[in-house]
Amino acid sequence: MIDASKIDRLLRTARAARGRAYAPYSDFAVGAALLGTSGRIYAGTNIENSSYGLSLCAERTALAQAIVRGERSFRAVAVVADSDDPCTPCGACRHVLSEFQDDLIIVSANLHGAVETRPLKELLPARNNTLKRRRGAS
C-alpha cells in the first residue's frame, strides 16, 4: 500500500496539474499524478480537441511524461476533478495503465475532499485476467 504522505503528495500534484488543463469543450478539467517505483512523480492534465476522440486524458499525459523520462514501472496514480464523486480513470486509461502495471493503486478524488483508493484490478478485472494469460500466469 502507499503511505498517507505519498498519497497527499500525489493529490497535491494532480490538483496543480488540473489547473493547467486545456478543456474548452467540456469545461471538465482533470489532473493526474503518476508515482513511479523510482519515487518520482509525473504530472498530467487533460488536453481536449474539437474532435473528442483526439483528446488526451490526464492519466495518459502523465504516463507519457514518465515514459519519455525512462520510467516503466509504477506504484500509484491520483486523479482529481471537480465532480460529485471521486473521479476514476476512464476505460481507455485503465487499459493503458494496466499495460505497464496491473497492480497499480488508483487514488480518485474530487475538489470537495472525497478520496477513494482501490487497486486497478478492481476497476478492470477482465483486463487483469487477459494479462495473466499473456504473461503465462495462472
pLDDT at position 102: 79
Q: Which helix (H) or strand (E) holds 9?
A: helix 4-18
Active site (catalytic) residues: 59
Residue range 88-136, pLDDT digits in tens: 999 999 999 999 987 899 999 999 999 999 999 998 876 555 555 555 5
Interhelix angle 125-135/91-100, rounded to 10 degrees, is: 30
Q: In order of start, what are the domains of the chain with their CATH numbers?
A: 4-135 (3.40.140.10)
DSSP 60-107: HHHHHHHHHTT---EEEEEEEES-SSPPPPPHHHHHHHHHH-TTPEEE
Q: Fill in the amino acid letter for 1.
A: M
Is residue 138's pLDDT more than 50? no
Q: Once rounded to an integer, what is the mean pLDDT over residues 65-77?
A: 97
Express as a percent the part of the chain with pLDDT over 70: 91
- Is pTM, for the whole model, over 0.95? no
φ, ψ of residue 105 to 5 degrees: the values are -95, 130
Sign, CA torsion 16/57/55/112: negative
